[in-house]
Amino acid sequence: MVQKAKILLVDDRPENLLALEAILSALDQTLVRASSGEEALKALLTDDFAVILLDVQMPGMDGFETAAHIKRRERTRDIPIIFLTAINHGPHHTFRGYAAGAVDYISKPFDPWVLRAKVSVFVDLYMKNCQLREQAALLRLQLESGSSGRAGAVEPQESAGLLAELSARLAAVEEQAEALSKQLDESADAAAVATAAHLERKLTGLRRALDALEPGTGSSTAGSLPSQG
């Protein structure tokens, strides 16, 4: 069963959070509220998120400071951040947002369709990465059982069946990633394109590792697996 992605919404005004939920509800993902930077950081300690929508103007810890904390943590540094602001202070203010680690900077009032489309891209990328990690975990199990000399090692027929299933599942992920890349070519969001390229590189490494396990290809070592960093 495919789990839903979590999207973190950070804004000190309840009406803004309600508006964001209304816009993003069509994505059918899990929306998590945070009314302050501190509350957002607490949520990030325990849950994984596909993307963070972060208001800039908040009392206490503002969006820039919150983003700085997020980017300093190893667990959360790679989560995409979209800044939302009701104030447009010009290029310098926008640059500060990107310097803080944002992948996008949107001024209110924003187009609901555009915001939903941008968030959808990062949700798709997150889901593909989750699928990729699952395939890698299955591959590692296969490698460990294939290289061990235990009596309970996987039989050749069972091994071939598992390899076929892995190959089919990986092919499905590859097809979806290719379609996503074509979609990104049209949107031209630099951060999303870079993330998609990273995903494609990991998929390529995973395919090579899987091909190395096929009968008659020689050795199969754990070192063939792509890094999941």
The count of residues in the chain is 229
Q: Name the band, by pLDDT with cuts 50, 70 and 90, for residue 153.
A: very low
pLDDT value, residue 107: 81
pLDDT value, residue 97: 66
What percentage of the chain exceeds 70 in pLDDT?
A: 65
Distance CA 170, CA 199 (A): 13
89 and 126 fall within a common domain = no
State the residue range of the domain holding 137: 120-224
Residues 201-222: what's their mean pLDDT? Answer: 62
Phi then psi for residue 29, to 5 deg, are -115, 175
Phi then psi for residue 214, to 5 deg, are -65, 145
99 and 135 fall within a common domain = no
Between the CA of residue 204 and those of 72, 97, 131, 170, what are the distances in Å? 29, 33, 14, 10
pLDDT value, residue 194: 66
150 and 91 fall within a common domain = no
In a domain, 115, yes or no: no
Q: How many domains would you assign to the chain?
A: 2
CATH assignment at residue 150 = 1.20.58
106 and 124 fall within a common domain = no
In a domain, 138, yes or no: yes
CATH assignment at residue 69 = 3.40.50.2300
Q: Is the pLDDT confidence value at 99 over 80?
A: no
In a domain, 150, yes or no: yes
In a domain, 1, yes or no: no
Stated pTM of the model: 0.65
pLDDT value, residue 137: 76
Tens-digit pLDDT profile for residues 164-210? 777 777 777 777 777 766 666 555 566 666 667 767 777 777 777 76
